[in-house]
Amino acid sequence: MGLTPVERASHYATRSPRFAKITSKHLSYFHSVLEKPCSASKRKGKILTDTEAIAPFNVDWMRQVQGATPAVLMPTCATHVSEILKYCQAEKLAVVPQSGNTSMVYGAEPVHDELVLSTHLMNATPVVSKNTMSVEAESGVILQQCQEACAKEGLLFPLMMGSKGSSMIGGNVSTNAGGIHFARYGSMHSNVLGVEVVTAKGDILNMMSTLRKDNAGYDLKHLFIGSEGTLGVVTRAAIKLYPQPTSKQLAMFRLKDFESVLELYHLANNHLAECLSAFEVMDGESMTTSPAKEVPYERTYKNDVFCGGKDFTSAYFCVLVETHGSNEKHDFDKLSEFVEAAQAKLGDKLSGGGQYEPILSQSAAQTEQLWALREGIPVHLASGGLIYKYDVSFPIDKFYGVVEHTREILYKHHKMDPAEVIVVGYGHFGDGNVHLNVVDLTRSHGEQLDAALYPAVYEYCAAHAGSISAEHGVGMQKRDYLHLSRTSEVIRLMTDVKAMMDPNGILNPYKVLPLEQEK
């Protein structure tokens, strides 16, 4: 869409008249709250109003949506947050909670003049317990810092993803962040043992706990995991840890077709079973913009679409298979047996046509190099042109259909040129989570792509038992497509829950669900 970030904000939602304008009276109140040190943190909060200082809080990291908050509130503990939200609820002031500001769906930045409630100052050193195998962290702790604190004690933090250097625990929990180790270690719903949350009405819900089993009444923490800060603000969390794997192995495969990927996945489950920690798939096209030369790639479709062929399936797929284990020799044995079994079963299809043998990483440096290929994809694609990103999921046997379907739409129905617009698929195969990316290399097909892709891609998800959001959430970007993944009865209950918990709709408005009166 050829819109400025400010226009795009308004395109998604007009400012609701239900919210009050922020006045100096309000700001004085916030000053008075934040200048008192919290009893828990012993620290004062902060308030930013300087235009330059608040600029980065007003726009998402992709610079697509820009709001106009007049102030960023920086509490240091739940008591601060509680006083702020009680006041905002009473005064009908809209608030957007923000931690690392790495949302992919416009879920964490102001759309109009909402106050920003930043978790930055809630960042005490995480407390790692070897005995309970858990970590307690405040919501402003950066993911990577948390991972490192756990690793120091020989324990593994279960979440790992590209934005680890900026995303924060509060956002990770609120958005039910996924990442590459999801299939092995599970979701935030599985790993969060306890939370401290301040509800939209300002009540502090202390549900902190490191208990593994706790069936005492409704488990309400799940309401706040994945609801993207629309029901409450997560201020602390206790998260389950795992033994730090002492052995990490990696293998890379090149396969001739998608059916072979599925077969390889089942073989991996049989042979690697409890060691399997990641199974990442990248189609041949997803690496065409990469400067890496470690793995040969070329851009051809099965039937050579460049010559008018009609089969838009990739000519090959790369697969990264990772193991996490406690015994290097055992894991290497398992991986070797797995490779042999794959060679026996898949034969010619395994080497992508006979040329490329599987690579078993021989060193930490090579492992890093191979992972860099996968992790570099989003960045290289984004720098290759105007990018459209879709984070969707399917039952794993239908993982790749959406990519082929999108190629068909663009190349066959819209007669676009595969040399100008590329359509790639990569992602977390074990979770059925495919990242479909469309890149307009010439940056000149924006309007045509908008018309062709929205809502066609999401409709394809709906028609194929998929989800319009695998791990990125809904935010503002997918709000109006929610009905494609949820029935009207389910959306009605979401709306009822929101209305009950946030009667004035002040918390993260315009996100996930439309404002009630404006439906």
Please name the residues in contact with 456: beta carbons below 8 A apart, sequence gap of 6 or more. 406, 409
Do the beta carbons of residue 485 and residue 462 sit within 8 Å? yes
Question: Nearer to a copy of itself by C-beta: 23 or 326?
Answer: 326
As beta bridge partners, residue 197 has 205, 234
Phi, psi (degrees; rounded to nearest 5) at 147: -55, -45
Phi, psi (degrees; rounded to nearest 5) at 403: -70, -45
Question: Nearer to a copy of itself by C-beta: 6 or 462?
Answer: 462
Q: Write down the H helix ranges in 385-509.
A: 401-407, 446-453, 456-463, 488-501
Q: Compute the radius of gyration of the chain from its Cα atoms.
A: 24
Instruction: Give me the least distance between CB of 475 and a copy of itself, in Å please.
Output: 10
Instruction: Give me the least distance between CB of 137 and a copy of itself, in Å please.
Output: 17
Burial of 218 (0-12, 13-18, 19+ CB in 10 A): exposed
Question: Nearer to a copy of itself by C-beta: 354 or 503?
Answer: 503
Instruction: Give me the least distance between CB of 222 and a copy of itself, in Å please.
Output: 3
C-alpha distances in Å from residue 27, one per residue of 33, 37, 53, 302, 397: 10, 17, 16, 62, 54
Question: Nearer to a copy of itself by C-beta: 356 or 399?
Answer: 399
Question: Nearer to a copy of itself by C-beta: 165 or 395?
Answer: 395
Question: Nearer to a copy of itself by C-beta: 164 or 271?
Answer: 271
In angstroms, the first-to-last Cα distance of the chain is: 24
Q: What is the DSSP string of 306-369?
A: GGT-S--SBS-EEEEEEEEES-HHHHHHHHHHHHHHHHHHHGGGGBTTTT---EE--SHHHHHH
Residue type, 171: G
Question: Nearer to a copy of itself by C-beta: 257 or 471?
Answer: 471
Ramachandran class of 415: left when φ > 0, alpha when ψ lies in -120 to 50, beta otherwise: left
Question: Nearer to a copy of itself by C-beta: 353 or 395?
Answer: 395
Short-list 165, 232, 317, 265, CA closest to 502: 232
Instruction: Give me the least distance between CB of 501 and a copy of itself, in Å please.
Output: 8
Phi, psi (degrees; rounded to nearest 5) at 350: -75, -30
Question: Nearer to a copy of itself by C-beta: 203 or 459?
Answer: 203
Phi, psi (degrees; rounded to nearest 5) at 179: 85, -175
Instruction: Give me the least distance between CB of 397 and a copy of itself, in Å please.
Output: 5
Burial of 514 (0-12, 13-18, 19+ CB in 10 A): middle
